[in-house]
């Protein structure tokens, strides 16, 4: 007979073990055929939206793409007035460049709209039982509820709006919001009082005070965010847009200066050629993908069930240098667990094991269940079966009380078994004429000094003197994989600080075992605020998690504050991110997503600027080779004709946008490393690669277009 308790059917938002998440497939490799088919379907599906985005009122938001749009318009006019194969070919591929840029954004938005449709499907037109001042109930539409209204929700009913439980306790199905099928417990008071509109009460009943206005619930905010309607450009994105705009203006002036020189040299260039040169020189690739990269970053957060209140928070997560994590429930399991049973001097292990098992049979606390699990591993099936029948045989279980600080069992034969706080059990033994071995006291002091919790086990036969049988060692167990994750953060250059209300001795022990860089013991809300401000004084960005009202000031002060969805409304309002899964270890994933966003943007910017080099060797010799035959030496690609060289460069400029859409959506793979190593890899892969790829691509395209009647 196996004594290990079966998993409880209801989760209470205990965080997961927090092991390292699987790394995505390397972004530098080509997508699998299935991925290519998915992308092709997405491009086809978003084609009408991309055409609608040709509206100049939309295009002007991206200065680089707007310049291409204006150039396309000019070449269209020229092609209509003086139609040639060359003019129309350049014109069509310039419009394709604008269209592909719009497609990149439309595909990113399309993902969000698909998620939004799923979220909308979870919303139903619900009614609410609103409580009047005289405590009677009235039925109203959920859309009529306002902040402060009190509603009663019964089993099977949908919670009509976001709020806090003020009365009762219930199990709630939140799968529509979090995707987690296991129901969760929501109860008044504490840090599990928040409920989300659109979720369903499964059992019991609760009274909820509404804390949001209609249209401002978490579901509404998630829909707005994933659709891109509420996405604002981040400071980094704005700065990059300014840089791209500046480069574009410089190239516009440079191209404008070429025509007078060409006229003077007797080689006047057509508008089509000048526009083709301009479009190939300006950073069209990153200009076309910049918006898609930002939208995809928000999308990745939503896929992790994290609601970001602003793009600034996502970006800040990528630059975080200090991470504050609560010990209980984040670094450790949150409940003390039995790790070893130590027999008293002169006694065998079997006696303390049997006594620990018997005294904890009726203990339903996590600590008690862990003792049963630990002891059961060393007992035979026959012994466990015999002990499991003691209740039926007339045994009396003694529950733990604050006064006695002990629990245990009185067996039918008169034997009493007790376990509890060391001083309480030792006093019980002494009061009944027994002795406490010095070796047991030594073990107790050793466990306590190491930050653990010692429980003493004793037994007394009927009419006989009690004996101390041994000590149970309880400790706050660090989750598996946490040490490795902190090592990853250290490799990223991020300093980790554990925050706990434990005494310094216990905090130090847990910090060493978990592998964090520092800890703050006996922390108060004021201590947390002071620590955050101290870290920020050095110019560092700070991230932290929290769920209680006492965490709200620190969440508001931190650069990246992640509140648990199970937490209080005050914590969620103070934070700039909300984790719908209420998994505090997810802060580590948020940092990785933020860094991936920044690295993706930087990598594609490097690639975009680097691949312009090949275009210089394609277009500039083609423009003036007739006048200056010596320029043919720059035609290192051996392009067929000046017209085919220009058209090949324009076609490559358009197609590279489509080729990079999967990378901009998936993101460049992030490997924890220092900034120097990341910069070196960025330059080698996307800098050198950005130089080489166009030489190959333009040459291959030229082999095809050289057969056209240009």
Instruction: Give yes or no for residue 9 having a pLDDT over 50.
Output: no
Give me the pLDDT at residue 571, please: 78
Q: Percent helix, strand and coil across the chain, each rounded to 5? A: 50, 15, 30
Mean pLDDT of 642-651: 88
Residue 97 — very low, low, confident or very high, per pLDDT cuts 50/70/90?
Answer: very high
Give me the pLDDT at residue 124, please: 53
Backbone angles phi, psi at 462, to 5 degrees: -60, 120
Residue 16 — very low, low, confident or very high, per pLDDT cuts 50/70/90?
Answer: very low
Give me the pLDDT at residue 191, please: 59
Residue 31 — very low, low, confident or very high, per pLDDT cuts 50/70/90?
Answer: very low
First to last CA, the chain: 85
Q: Which of 11-15, 159-163, 547-551, 657-661 has the highest mean pLDDT?
A: 657-661
User: In 85-123, which positions are buried (b, 16+ CB within 10 angstroms) versus exposed (e)?
Assistant: ebbbbbbbbbbbbbbbbbbbbbbbbbbbbebbeebeeeb
Mean pLDDT of 416-420: 90
Cα separation, 600 vs 154, whole angstroms: 48
Burial of 339 (0-12, 13-18, 19+ CB in 10 A): middle
Task: Please tell me the least confidently modeled range out of 4-8, 234-238, 519-523, 676-680.
Answer: 4-8
Residue 143 — very low, low, confident or very high, per pLDDT cuts 50/70/90?
Answer: confident
Higher pLDDT, 530 or 214: 530
- To which H or E segment does residue 416 belong? strand 416-421
Query: CB of 275 within 8 A of CB of 91?
Result: no
Residue 39 — very low, low, confident or very high, per pLDDT cuts 50/70/90?
Answer: low
**What angle do the packed helices 235-264 and 311-318 form, to 10 degrees?**
90
User: pLDDT (tens digit, 9 = 90+) per residue, 385-410?
Assistant: 888 777 677 888 888 776 777 889 89
Query: CB of 660 within 8 A of CB of 292?
Result: no
Query: CB of 549 within 8 A of CB of 264?
Result: no
User: In 403-413, which positions are buried (b, 16+ CB within 10 angstroms) versus exposed (e)?
Assistant: ebbbbbbbbee
Residue 33 — very low, low, confident or very high, per pLDDT cuts 50/70/90?
Answer: very low
Q: What's the mean per-residue pLDDT of the chain?
A: 80
Query: CB of 344 within 8 A of CB of 422?
Result: no
Residue 220 — very low, low, confident or very high, per pLDDT cuts 50/70/90?
Answer: low
Residue owning tokens 């991206």: 62
Backbone angles phi, psi at 447, to 5 degrees: -65, -45
Higher pLDDT, 308 or 100: 100
Give me the pLDDT at residue 334, please: 63
Query: CB of 343 within 8 A of CB of 469?
Result: yes
Q: 326 an active-site residue?
A: yes
Mean pLDDT of 2-9: 32
Catalytic residue among 149, 191, 299, 326: 326
Higher pLDDT, 452 or 529: 529
Other Cβ atoms less than 10 A from the Cβ of 250: the count is: 12
Instruction: Give yes or no for residue 144 having a pLDDT over 70.
Output: yes
Mean pLDDT of 485-494: 81
Strands 332-343 and 200-210: unpaired
Query: CB of 318 within 8 A of CB of 686?
Result: no
Give the CA dihedral 55, 59, 60, 61, nearest 10 degrees. 130
Give me the pLDDT at residue 113, please: 60
**What angle do the packed helices 33-45 and 642-666 form, to 10 degrees?**
100
Give me the pLDDT at residue 463, please: 78
Strands 184-187 and 127-131: unpaired
Q: Is 451 left (phi over 0), alpha (psi -120 to 50) or beta?
A: left
* Joined tokens for residue 75: 């070449």
Give me the pLDDT at residue 177, please: 61
What separation in angstroms does the CA of 554 have from each of 360, 408, 557, 574, 576?
40, 43, 5, 8, 12
Give me the pLDDT at residue 710, please: 63
For the chain, give the percent of residues with pLDDT over 70.
Answer: 83
Instruction: Give yes or no for residue 666 having a pLDDT over 60.
Output: yes
Sequence ranges of the binding site for ATP = 363, 367, 400-407, 419
User: pLDDT (tens digit, 9 = 90+) per residue, 323-378?
Assistant: 888 776 667 776 678 888 999 988 888 889 988 888 888 777 777 888 888 888 88
Give me the pLDDT at residue 471, please: 93
Q: Is the model's pTM score more than 0.85?
A: no
Residue 38 — very low, low, confident or very high, per pLDDT cuts 50/70/90?
Answer: low
Q: Where are the beta strands (DSSP E) in 269-331?
A: 306-308, 320-326
User: pLDDT (tens digit, 9 = 90+) per residue, 242-257?
Assistant: 888 998 999 899 888 8
* Joined tokens for residue 549: 């009202």
Closest C-alpha to 232, from 316, 295, 293, 289: 295
Residue 11 — very low, low, confident or very high, per pLDDT cuts 50/70/90?
Answer: very low
Give me the pLDDT at residue 21, please: 36
- What 3-state class would DSSP assign to 450? coil
Helices (H), 165-231: 175-178, 218-226
Mean pLDDT of 578-604: 82
Give the CA dihedral 522, 526, 532, 533, nearest 10 degrees. -140
User: pLDDT (tens digit, 9 = 90+) per residue, 507-535?
Assistant: 888 888 888 999 988 887 788 888 898 88
Give me the pLDDT at residue 329, please: 64
């Amino acid at each position: 007979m196996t004594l290990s308790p079966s998993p409880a059917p209801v989760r209470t938002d205990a965080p997961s073990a927090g092991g390292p998440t699987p790394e995505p497939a390397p972004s530098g490799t080509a997508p699998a055929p299935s991925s290519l088919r998915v992308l092709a379907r997405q491009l086809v599906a978003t084609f009408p939206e991309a055409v609608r985005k040709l509206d100049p009122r939309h295009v002007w938001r991206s200065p680089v793409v707007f310049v291409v749009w204006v150039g396309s318009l000019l070449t269209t006019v020229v092609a209509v007035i003086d139609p040639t194969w060359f003019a129309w070919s350049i014109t069509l591929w310039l419009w394709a460049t604008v269209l592909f840029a719009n497609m990149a954004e439309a595909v990113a938005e399309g993902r969000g709209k698909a998620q939004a449709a799923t979220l909308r499907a979870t919303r139903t037109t619900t009614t609410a039982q609103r409580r009047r001042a005289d405590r009677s109930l009235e039925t109203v539409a959920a859309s009529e509820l306002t902040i402060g209204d009190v509603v009663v929700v019964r089993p099977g009913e949908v919670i009509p709006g976001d709020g806090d439980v003020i009365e009762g306790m219930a199990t709630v199905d939140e799968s529509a919001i979090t995707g987690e099928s296991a129901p969760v417990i929501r109860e008044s008071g504490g840090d599990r009082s928040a409920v989300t509109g659109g979720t369903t009460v499964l059992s019991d009943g609760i009274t909820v005070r509404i804390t949001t206005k209609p249209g401002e619930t978490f579901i509404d905010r998630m829909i707005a965010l994933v659709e891109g309607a509420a996405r604002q450009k981040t400071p980094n994105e704005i700065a990059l847009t300014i840089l791209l705009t500046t480069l574009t203006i410089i190239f516009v002036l440079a191209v404008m200066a070429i025509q007078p020189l060409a006229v003077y040299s007797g080689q006047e260039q057509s508008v089509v050629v000048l526009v083709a040169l301009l479009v190939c020189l300006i950073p069209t690739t990153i200009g076309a993908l910049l918006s898609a990269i930002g939208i995809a970053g928000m999308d990745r957060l939503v896929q992790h069930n994290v609601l970001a209140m602003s793009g600034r928070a996502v970006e800040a997560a990528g630059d975080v240098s200090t991470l504050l994590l609560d010990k209980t429930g984040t670094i450790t399991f949150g409940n003390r667990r039995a790790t070893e049973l130590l027999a008293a001097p002169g006694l065998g292990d079997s006696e303390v094991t049997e006594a620990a098992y018997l005294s904890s049979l009726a203990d339903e606390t996590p600590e008690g269940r862990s003792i049963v699990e630990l002891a059961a591993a060393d007992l035979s099936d026959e012994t466990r079966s015999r002990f499991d029948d003691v209740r039926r045989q007339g045994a009396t279980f003694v529950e733990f009380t604050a006064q006695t600080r002990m629990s245990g069992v009185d067996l039918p034969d008169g034997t009493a078994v007790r376990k509890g706080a060391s001083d309480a059990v030792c006093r019980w033994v002494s009061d009944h004429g027994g002795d406490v071995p010095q070796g047991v006291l030594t073990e107790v002091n050793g466990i306590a000094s190491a930050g653990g919790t010692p429980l003493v086990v004793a037994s007394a036969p009927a009419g006989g003197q009690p004996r101390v049988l041994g000590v149970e060692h309880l400790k706050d167990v660090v989750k598996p994989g946490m040490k490795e994750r902190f090592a990853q953060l250290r490799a990223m250059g991020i300093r980790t600080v554990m925050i706990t209300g434990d005494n310094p001795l216990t905090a130090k022990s847990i910090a060493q075992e978990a592998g964090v860089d520092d800890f703050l013991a006996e922390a108060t809300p004021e201590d947390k605020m002071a620590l955050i401000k101290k870290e920020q004084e050095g110019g560092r960005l700070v991230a932290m998690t929290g769920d209680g009202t006492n965490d709200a000031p620190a969440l508001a002060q931190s650069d990246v504050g992640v509140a648990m969805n199970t937490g209080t409304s005050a914590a969620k309002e103070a934070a700039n991110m909300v984790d719908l899964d209420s998994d505090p270890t997810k802060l580590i994933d948020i940092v990785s997503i933020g860094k991936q966003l920044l690295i993706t943007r930087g990598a594609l910017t490097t690639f975009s600027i680097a691949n312009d080099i090949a275009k210089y060797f394609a277009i500039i010799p083609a423009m003036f080779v007739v006048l200056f035959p010596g320029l043919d030496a720059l035609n290192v690609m051996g392009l067929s004709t000046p017209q085919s060289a220009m058209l090949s460069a324009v076609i490559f400029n358009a197609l590279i946008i489509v080729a990079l859409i999967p990378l901009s959506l998936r993101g460049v793979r992030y490997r924890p490393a220092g900034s120097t190593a990341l910069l070196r890899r960025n330059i080698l892969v996307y800098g050198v690669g950005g130089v080489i790829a166009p030489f190959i691509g333009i040459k291959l395209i030229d082999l095809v277009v050289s057969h056209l009647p240009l």
